[in-house]
Amino acid sequence: MTGRSVPRWAITVTMLAVLVGAGLGVNALEANAPPNGPIGVRMTLGRDSVVHPLQVNVSGARAYETILDEDENPLETVGVWVLVDLSYATTDEPNLPGDFVLVDAHGRRYPTTGRAFSEWFASPDLWHRGTLAFEVPLDALGDLTFEAWPSGQGTASDTPMPYGVLALRVDPGAVEPGPAVVAEPELLPAGER
pLDDT, tens digit, 9 for 90 and up, residues 169-179: 999 999 999 89
pTM for this entry:
0.76
Percent over 70 (pLDDT), the chain: 84
Taking Cα atoms as reference points, which of 165, 187, 169, 167 lies closest to residue 51?
A: 165
Percent over 90 (pLDDT), the chain: 37
Q: In angstroms, rounded to a whole number, what is the distance separating the alpha carbons of residues 85 and 65?
A: 17
Q: Is 105 left (phi over 0), alpha (psi -120 to 50) or beta?
A: alpha
Predicted pLDDT of residue 42: 93
Residue 21 CB neighbours (<10 A): 10
Predicted pLDDT of residue 64: 96
Taking Cα atoms as reference points, which of 57, 55, 42, 39 lies closest to residue 167?
A: 42
Mean pLDDT computed over 163-171: 94
**pLDDT above 70 (res 77):** yes
**pLDDT above 60 (res 1):** no
Residue 129: CA count within 13 A, CB half-sphere:
13
Mean pLDDT computed over 41-58: 90
Mean pLDDT computed over 5-14: 82
Predicted pLDDT of residue 33: 52
Contacts 24+ apart (CB under 8 A), 69-77: 69/115, 69/116, 69/117, 69/182, 70/116, 70/117, 70/118, 70/182, 70/184, 71/116, 72/181, 73/116, 74/179, 75/113, 75/115, 75/116, 77/135
**Most confidently modeled of 30-34, 110-114, 145-149?**
145-149
Strand partners, 134: 82, 112
**pLDDT above 90 (res 106):** yes
**pLDDT above 60 (res 150):** yes
Q: How confident is the model at residue 165 (pLDDT cuts 50, 70, 90)?
A: very high
Query: Beta strands 49-51 and 180-181: pairing type?
Result: unpaired
Better-scored residue on pLDDT, 2 or 104: 104
**pLDDT above 90 (res 81):** yes
Mean pLDDT of all residues belonging to the chain: 84
Predicted pLDDT of residue 169: 96
